[in-house]
């Protein structure tokens, strides 16, 4: 079994809400950033693809919020990719607080790729990310 | 059957990403804002509760992204509340583009309330939101 | 003297920070949104221009923070445009809390327009916004 | 002369706007985060102070936008503190793109500290940051 891709970040205070914890919406940003870094690590550049008219898009997300991040917390975002169907792929992601290895958020983000005509199409480079 | 609560908003250009569409993470913000307005409409003030140490928290979200919002789009966010268990409640939410009534995002956001000791507890005011 | 353009908005709870007030960075978003609505009102569509390769860009901002917005506050953003030089224009902007007419933020945002080659260029439509 | 405090970050794609560049409002977030890291480095914890009722607040910002950051760019934020008056302090900040050492944003952010009664008050720990 392969090791998940890991990206380490630190909470920024503007990401906190009035409850003094990272706002739920921000985890979406964290997860997106980690997916793009994961893709880049595999040679797939989200921004360069977008300029070519190939759009990686999220079609579904399922997230469980289990614990909160606060000011100063360091954390890791894990990313594992899997092929779900001919044109769908999934990212299993976890946000793990480093001080106590607590899983704060975990979930599945399902996506597809759209070509310049807006049709689902997985290029060979994208397909290769999701091989068994 | 009751009519869902509806909040009308307009896309702001800073919410768009490099693909020229509202970034996925922003829908989370839209949905949260609509839930808080829904609660306020029922006499439950999220911010006032937070100051009293009662925190409404999201524990799970399931969202389907079906179409995109772009610059200038007006849209409605629908909210319907339901009781899921003794300490869990759910919000069925939809983001609907007004120009063509297209559902852009729909999903279920599951929450609970934590009292000042961090224990799940639904006050009578919160419970009354989720009666049949 | 002309009346400033006015846009009314309401604070969204995700815009608050751990101090329970609208985060300073968010005013930047408010001001940008109001400028784009002002431009649209004059027939200039920021997003459509960007697609044509004409970019309106901010080159300097000077903001004074005088009071805070909190959860539930309604406010108005005022916009007045003025010509500053051959290729520079300015927006005088104020964020005014509606409950007590208190000015929360006021400032000057200076911009220019860049053509598709990245050179400063004010089209007639843009120029006409800043006539005396 | 002392060396400025430096914090290195990388652009995250959700920070880009439809022009494919980091949105102006995001620089405010970058600058705030760098100020908080600077303060922490000197032993002053913004979040802990806020919980004690001592609020560091921005009262004015002057920013010049000179160049843009794009997807993938690494950059440094510099912070230098100076005492401006009995109750005001300033942060000279620069955002520098690492690939070519280009200054993208530079500016002055002026702040004060408010005690639990909302009155300007600089504690000895805060004052010591701004000694000559």
More confident residue, A123 or D7: D7
Place of tokens 């579904």: A60
Q: Nearest Cβ partner of D14 from B13, B20, B23? A: B23
Give the C-alpha separation, A112 to A57, whole Å: 6
Average pLDDT rounded to a whole number, residues C62-78:
97
Q: Does A16 touch chain C (CB under 8 A)?
A: yes
> What are the b/e assignments for B52-65, b being 16+ CB within 10 Å?
eebbbebbbbbbbb
Provide the pLDDT for residue D132. Answer: 55
**DSSP E strand stretches across chain C:** 5-10, 55-65, 74-83, 89-97, 103-114
Range with the poorest average pLDDT among A18-22, B83-87, D48-52: D48-52
Which residues 6+ apart lie within 8 Å of B37 measured at CB? B5, B7
Question: Is residue B116 within 8 angstroms of chain A, CB to CB?
Answer: no
ipTM: 0.93
pLDDT band for position D1 (cuts 50, 70, 90): low
- Position A1 scores a pLDDT of 54
Buried-state track A36-62, b at ≥16 Cβ within 10 A, e below 16: bbbbbeeebbbbebbeeebbbebbbbb
Residues B31, B107: contact at Cβ < 8 Å? yes
Taking an 8 Å cut-off on Cβ atoms, the answer to whether C62 and D57 are in contact is no
Test D46 with A16 for CB contact under 8 angstroms.
no
- Is B17 a residue of the active site? yes
With CA atoms as reference, the chain B residue closest to D14 would be B17
CB distance from D53 to chain B under 8 Å? no
Q: What is the pLDDT of residue A132?
A: 55
Question: Are the beta carbons of C14 and B32 separated by less than 8 Å?
Answer: yes
What global pTM score does this model have?
A: 0.95
Question: Distance between CA D95 and CA D109 in Å, rounded?
Answer: 13
Nearest-5° Cα angle at C61, A26 to C23: 30
What pLDDT tens digit does each residue of chain B (132 aa) get? Answer: 578 999 999 999 999 999 999 999 999 999 999 999 999 999 999 888 888 888 899 999 999 999 999 999 999 999 999 999 989 999 999 999 999 999 999 999 999 999 888 898 888 888 888 875
**Assigned architecture for domain D5-130:** Roll (3.10)
C51 and chain B: CB distance < 8 Å anywhere? yes
Half-sphere exposure in the Cβ direction for B30 (13 Å, CA): 31
Q: Is the pLDDT reported for residue C30 higher than 70? A: yes
């Amino acid at each position: 079994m392969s090791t998940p891709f890991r990206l380490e970040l630190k909470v920024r205070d503007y990401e906190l809400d009035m409850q003094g914890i990272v706002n739920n919406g921000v985890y979406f940003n964290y997860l997106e950033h980690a997916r793009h870094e994961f893709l880049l690590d595999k040679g797939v550049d989200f921004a360069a693809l977008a300029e070519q008219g190939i759009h990686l898009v999220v079609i579904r997300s399922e997230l469980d919020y289990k614990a909160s991040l606060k000011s100063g917390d360091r954390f890791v975002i894990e990313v594992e990719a899997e092929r779900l169907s001919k044109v769908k792929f999934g990212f299993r992601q976890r946000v793990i607080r480093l001080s106590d290895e607590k899983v704060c958020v975990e979930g599945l983000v399902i996506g597809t790729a759209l070509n310049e005509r807006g049709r689902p199409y997985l290029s060979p480079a994208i397909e290769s990310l999701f091989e068994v």
